[in-house]
Structure 1
Amino acid sequence: MLEMVKSVLETKIRPELMKHYGDIELVDVNDGVVTVKLLGSCSHCPSAVFTMEDLVESTLKDSIPEVKEVVLDNSVSDELIEEVLNIIRKNR
């Protein structure tokens, strides 16, 4: 199922997100539960919940019947932490 999820993310979901300067990262697939992280503009968009429901979850479930749930990982990325640290260092 992991390869099927990767394929759907790459061919159906990522291109749609990239139209809005966003992206998606696959975090985990475990027992029908897919965990993803939204990146780029999508990571801080007020409509991220709708993107998850209307695009990501519905596309994955329609394409792969074994997908039971899609979970959004909202943890802070290393990229964002590094960016903030660079800003702090510059302002010292």
Structure 2
Amino acid sequence: MSAATLTDHPLLPRIEVALDGIRPYLKADGGDVRVLGITDDMVLRLELLGACGTCPMSPMTLKAGVEESVKKAVPEIRSVEAVNVATALQPAGQEGRPQPPTAVPTPN
């Protein structure tokens, strides 16, 4: 969906109101969100900005906070996805398979 089409989307004002309700919490932690598009099958695509883009808690924040708020205000939206969410097992910028933590010896 092009940017011009997005700005004309009838759901965008309601989505922005829902996002504005949670933005203070995101901004308190140095983050924010930006709407990138709404797919034909009603998936809201977001970009997580600032600290939210690399925070290991972003997947939980996205589902429990952002998606729940948006879907409550705009039930037409089926789901919310972020294009830049790092998974809890794979930190941002890490390639390959995540490695298990290495045990650190404790002094006796």
* TM-score, with length taken from structure 1: 0.74
Larger Cα-atom Rg? 2
For 1:52, what is the secondary structure of its paired residue?
helix
Give yes or no for the alignment of 1:2 onto 2:12. yes
Give yes or no for the alignment of 1:59 onto 2:69. yes
What residue ranges of structure 2 are gaps of 5+ in the alignment? 1-10, 86-108
* TM-score, with length taken from structure 2: 0.63
Q: Equivalent residue for 1:49? A: 59
What residue ranges of structure 1 are gaps of 5+ in the alignment? 76-92
Q: Equivalent residue for 1:30? A: 39
Comparing both structures, which one devotes a greater share of its residues to helix?
1
TM superposition outliers: structure 1 runs of 4+ over 6 Å: none
Identical-pair percentage: 32
Comparing both structures, which one devotes a greater share of its residues to strand?
1
User: Aligned-pair RMSD on alpha carbons?
Assistant: 1.4
